[in-house]
Structure 1
């Protein structure tokens, strides 16, 4: 759970309920409201820094013995190993970064293209894992966004995303003028702070899950301890 980035978000939500109340049902003397987790886009000026609220209904257990390959995470925050079906673990939570600009329909291929633009080509190890694991199936099958029953990551997300020679199959989607430097929030003005922020992000946004920093390591990162540096 995260705090709202601006108190006016709550006031706007309350006002919206006056004119457009949420759906609810009455059971005895209780009113049960439909789950609501969309409070609109993050306030302008902080959009690159403050995450959207995410429903705890998307939480998953990570202590199972079998490989974890089934779909998880909100679309925009999905880690590469989830999209590629190469097996995920708790390190997927470290990725949670919205790599996709704009508000158009979600496209997994575009998502991978944006990742490439931001952090460079995938590690060959990850591409090999996608080839080796593309036939791995989960059970029960899940409905993909197109309403089709899917039992593999490729079926669910429209992969595989890399050809047998390791090239990305939708090179045409890679934005030409995107980079991680462009994701630095405008409120970070000092050059040394910009460098610290970028180093912090690079520790999170690694293609290989095992190369990402842990939550404990990030907590000690200089970016989160500017007052002591």
Structure 2
């Protein structure tokens, strides 16, 4: 058993009284998202409903098929609202704590995710280079 003794006292000691770790062969469940689905790699567009009602991307609501861009829609909704109800959506009124250039950059950032046409939404990789996310990042030299 690993330990360090200093001045007649144990400073560190490792216990393994619980035995070896067990693998139960189970998969984790995503909490509070009862409609989460696994995307089949071979499929480009899925048609079964996903997402809680308030988070649903337009293509899921209409039932025309969805893909990875629905996650970008969800990210935009989460950034914009703590209570993500899309009734009376007005981006300008949703950001009272932001002012000036910061508010402008934020609204442009969220607007890139909340596009009705899925193909018009930026990808997660593209969003990483957005000026709103990079505004406080140290500049590269």
TM-score (norm 1): 0.40
Q: Determine which of 191, 203, 213 is the counterpart of 2:100.
A: 191
Q: Give the number of equivalent residue pairs.
A: 107
Is contact 1:81-1:87 (8 Å) kept?
A: yes
How do 1:94-109 and structure 2 match up within 5 A? 94-96=72-74, 97=77
Unaligned runs of 5+ in 2: 1-28
Please list the CA deviations of residues 100-157 of structure 1 after superposition, one character each: whole Å capped at 9, or x if unmatched.
Answer: 8979xxxxxx95xx2xx43xxxxxxxxxxxxxxxxxxxxxxxxxxxxxxxxxxxxxxx
Please list the CA deviations of residues 136-193 of structure 1 after superposition, one character each: whole Å capped at 9, or x if unmatched.
Answer: xxxxxxxxxxxxxxxxxxxxxxxxxxxxxxxxxxxxxxxxxxx11111152x2x3100
**CA distance in 2: counterparts of 1:69 and 1:185, whole angstroms:** 37
Instruction: Tell me which protein shows more helix as a share of its residues.
Output: 1
Residue 80 in structure 1 maps to residue 38 in structure 2: no
Is contact 2:44-2:67 (8 Å) kept?
A: no
Unaligned runs of 5+ in 1: 1-34, 38-53, 104-109, 119-178
How far residue 227 of structure 1 moved from its aligned partner, in angstroms, is 1.3
How do 1:52-131 and structure 2 match up within 5 A? 54-55=32-33, 58-65=36-43, 67-96=45-74, 97=77, 114=87, 117-118=88-89
Q: CA RMSD in A?
A: 3.2
Residue 180 in structure 1 maps to residue 86 in structure 2: no
Greater relative contact order (CA < 8 Å, ≥ 6 in sequence): 1
Radius of gyration: which is bigger?
2
How do 1:129-144 and structure 2 match up within 5 A? none
Counterpart of 1:122 in structure 2 is none
**CA distance in 2: counterparts of 1:64 and 1:85, whole angstroms:** 19
